[in-house]
Structure 1
Amino acid sequence: MIKFLKFIFTVGSLSLCSCAAMFNQPLERTPARVGEHSRSTKLLENLPEASFPVEVAVYNFSDQTGQYKPVENGSTFSTAVTQGGTTILLKALEDSGWFVPIERENLNNLSTERNIIRNTQQEYIKNLDPNVPPLPALLYAGLLLEGGIISYDTNIVTGGIGARYFGIGGSTQYRQDRITVYLRAVSTTNGEILKTVYVSKTILSQALDASFFRFVKFQRLLEAETGITQNEPGQIAVKDAIEKAVHDLIMEGIVDDIWGTKEGNQLDEKIAAEYLAEKNKTESIELYDRIMVDNKHKTSIGLSGGTTLIDGDYSTQKLSYFSRLELKQRLNKYLSVSASFGFLELSNGEQFSNRFGDINLNAHIDMLPRDDFSPFVYAGGGLVNEIDDINPKLTYGDTHFKMQFGLGMRYRITPRFDFNIFAEQNVAFSDELDKLAQGTRDDFYYAFGVGISYNFSPKFGWKKKADEPEIVE
């Protein structure tokens, strides 16, 4: 009974942790509903009113990928993305309020119906009021919107994690696909392409499962499993990308003064500035959400601290502390050199404890210099100088040469400030760092620390003021 209760508790806990959708399983038919909004729908709804809506025509905005939906054993004859891109685009243009969409996709149907109306009126003119005006002329567009869905990339990111212990386990898997949309505005007066925008959207698929497999008693095997799979609808992803493309096209037109808001130039300039700031931030994010931040400063000063651990001739090891001030100069995108001065303590408990000052010269290699997160490695040489703790007035004792190497991770908070975490090993060229010479191996110690650095561009030299006369000898 106790084992059965454990099973119920385990499976219940895994179900609760895996997904809340477990309690919203589709067990019955549901009525039709209004279509869901995408994340970009609010962008269109929150746009200010246009000074004058522009008539636009869309003849075709279709799937240009030519791809079929992938399955495990190949592909099917069902297309990977929706073929109704034109309809989605027309709805987005209407929702924005900045355009007057004109029917052009099925122009033959419209022309045929107008011919039927015209012929019917002529055939039965006697029964009609002679004052009835003829059919009005069709609207013509000032802009043509062209483009389409030009890419559908599957499995750009896949991964998962799982664990199993004593017959109880769970796992999760995920996959990301990506669609790409291009949209361009063409002037009907001269055929000039006024603007082109490019938008991409990822499609997420997830699978979560939990299982229980165990012999509860002799010849009695209990097995149970639960799980759920969620796939982001491809049509919602296409709708999101197209709506974002329409929004960005409007913003680009405001920036280039092609059109504007009803409120005037002041609001136009504010919207343009906000859009350009967001665009610059977005353009710094590359594939796989890698945030790129250019570091225009070649010099930095940093402060760090952490713990030390000596590995010498005593068996007892005790964590202690260190602090360090560092000046670094970047030579190129990847390579930097630094000089630092530090203060540290090494301790073996009651057997040995002393304080030291160290000077380090290092060469650093930044693996991903433009990423916000980047691993780095460094190596170099230096001195570690003993400080005599017995004398109240600090006096310096023996000096030992050493070399050090380490690795770490850098996070760029802003272009000015970096946060660092690192681990290093310091190898002394002496076996008397702990005042005990024993064995053939020299003493060394580890340092584990965190730090923050400030990036700047120093200005050296004397500059002549604009109104200061030049000295001629």
Structure 2
Amino acid sequence: MKIIYKAIPFLVTLFLSSCSAYFNQPMFQEPSRTGELSKSTNKLLDLPPAAQPVEVAVYNFSDQTGQYKAVELGSTFSTAVSQGGTTMLIKALEDSGWFIPIERENLNNLSTERNIIRNTKQEYVKNLNPNEPPLPPLLYAGLLLEGGVISYDTNIITGGIGARYFGLGGSAKYRQDRITVYLRAVSTSNGEILKTVYVSKTILSQAIDASFFRFVKFQRLLEAETGVTQNEPVQLAMKDAIEKAVHDLIIEGIQKQFWSSQGGKEVNDQLVAEYIAEKETDESTLLFDRLQVGRDAQNTLGISLGGNLPDNDYSTQELGFLGSLEYGRHFGRFFNVNLKTSVFRIDNGRQYRNVFASADINGQFALLPNDKLTPFVYAGSGVIISLLDPKNDNAFDTGEPFFKVQYGVGLEYFISKKVGVKLFGEHNLVFTDKLEKAVQGKRNDFYFNFGVGVNYYFKL
């Protein structure tokens, strides 16, 4: 029973992270409801009114992926995405208030019905009412909207985590797909493609499960399992992407002065400015939601503050100060060479304390050079020299220089294209046992530097 009591907190913790799905499991039939709003619906509805809505025609906005729904053992004859793209697009155009959608998808049905009405009116006019007005003409569109769903990529990210101990275990798994749509506006007067927009939307699937398997006593086996799986609806993701495409088409049309809002230039400029800022963020985000920063500066100036921790022949090893200045020159995106001067104190308490200076040259390699947050590694060599007399902390006494090598790792976060904040740790190997004036054993002295710093990037 003690094992069961230990399992309860684990199961509670595991499922609290997904309680919204787990504690709202469907148990009964539910009535029909109004369709859900997507993440982009409110952005579309919040647009200011148009100065003059534009008549648009949509003949077809189809699934161009040709992809069938994937299953574990192959595929089925069900398509991966909805075939109702035209209907979704017309609904988005109607919700925006900037367009007057004209029926063109089932034009044959509309033409047939109008012929029936026309023939009926002719008979009615001929026999009963000569003053019956004729059937009004069909509206024609100034714009054609074309495009479709051009890709559905599955498993662009998959992963998970799990653990099992003494019959108790749990796991969490996730998968991310992506749907992509293109939408273009075509002028019916000359066939010119006025604007094309491209939107992608990720689709998340999650699964969490827990199990318990244990013999609680002789011939008594306790086994329990539970779990929940949550899949983002593909139809809702497709609706979101289409609505975002319509929103972007409206703003880019304002930017190109194809149409305008009722508020005039001031409202137009505000909409365009907000859209450009959002677009710059989107374009600087890589596939896996990694922010990238375009950097073309070739030079870096940096300043760092931190601490020094020795590892030498004395038993007492305390934290000393560290200050550094450096200049770096970049050769391509990944590699740079930097020169660094440092002042630091090696502190062994009462046994030894001294201030040193060092000059280093390092080669540094950035692992993710265009990311907002990038790790880096570096290595190089340098010289170190004491600045004070170890017997008198206030007496300046330049000692013998020593050769050393160093290597380190770090992480840099770019506040802007020109300023980055870094965190680093460094191991320094000195090829002597005389650094702290004590020679014991066969091992040479070494020390660690670590700290934070700021880099400024610039061009000459």
- Asked if the contact 2:367/2:374 (under 8 Å) is kept, the reply is yes
- List aligned pairs for 1:43-442, cutoff 5 A: 43-125=43-125, 128-314=128-314, 317-348=317-348, 351-386=351-386, 387-391=388-392, 392-442=394-444
RMSD (Å) for aligned C-alpha atoms: 2.0
**Residue identity opposite 1:414 in structure 2:** S
Q: Residue 452 of structure 1 aligns with which residue?
A: 454
**Larger CA deviation: 55-64 vs 424-433:** 424-433
**1: distance between equivalents of 2:173 and 2:282?**
28
Residue 301 (structure 1) shift = 2.2
**2: distance between equivalents of 1:80 and 1:12?**
35
Residue 218 (structure 1) shift = 2.9
- Asked if the contact 2:353/2:390 (under 8 Å) is kept, the reply is no
Residue 349 (structure 1) shift = 5.0
**1: distance between equivalents of 2:231 and 2:18?**
16
Which 5+ residue runs of structure 1 have no aligned equivalent?
459-473
**1: distance between equivalents of 2:217 and 2:317?**
49
Residue 29 (structure 1) shift = 1.2
- Asked if the contact 1:59/1:104 (under 8 Å) is kept, the reply is yes
Residue 41 (structure 1) shift = 0.6
TM-score by length of 2: 0.94
**Larger CA deviation: 328-337 vs 80-89:** 328-337
Per the alignment, do residues 304 and 167 of structure 1 end up closer, same or farther by CA in structure 2, a change over 3 Å counting? farther
**1: distance between equivalents of 2:182 and 2:444?**
64
> 1:208-246 CA distances to partner (integer Å, 9 max, x unpaired)?
112222232233222212211000000000000000000
**1: distance between equivalents of 2:17 and 2:290?**
29
Residue 351 (structure 1) shift = 4.4
**1: distance between equivalents of 2:350 and 2:213?**
52
> 1:61-92 CA distances to partner (integer Å, 9 max, x unpaired)?
01000000000000000000000000000000
**2: distance between equivalents of 1:381 and 1:199?**
49
- Asked if the contact 1:121/1:128 (under 8 Å) is kept, the reply is no
- Asked if the contact 2:7/2:168 (under 8 Å) is kept, the reply is no
TM-score by length of 1: 0.91
Which 5+ residue runs of structure 2 have no aligned equivalent?
none
Q: Residue 463 of structure 1 aligns with which residue?
A: none
- Asked if the contact 1:308/1:346 (under 8 Å) is kept, the reply is yes
Secondary structure of the corresponding residue to residue 132 of structure 1: coil
Residue 60 (structure 1) shift = 0.3
- Asked if the contact 2:179/2:201 (under 8 Å) is kept, the reply is yes
Secondary structure of the corresponding residue to residue 244 of structure 1: helix
Per the alignment, do residues 22 and 57 of structure 1 end up closer, same or farther by CA in structure 2, a change over 3 Å counting? same
- Asked if the contact 1:186/1:192 (under 8 Å) is kept, the reply is yes
Secondary structure of the corresponding residue to residue 31 of structure 2: coil
- Asked if the contact 2:121/2:132 (under 8 Å) is kept, the reply is no
**1: distance between equivalents of 2:447 and 2:3?**
50
Identity among equivalent positions (%) equals 60
**Residue identity opposite 2:253 in structure 1:** G
Per the alignment, do residues 436 and 37 of structure 1 end up closer, same or farther by CA in structure 2, a change over 3 Å counting? same
Residue 319 (structure 1) shift = 4.4
- Asked if the contact 2:299/2:330 (under 8 Å) is kept, the reply is yes
Secondary structure of the corresponding residue to residue 24 of structure 1: coil
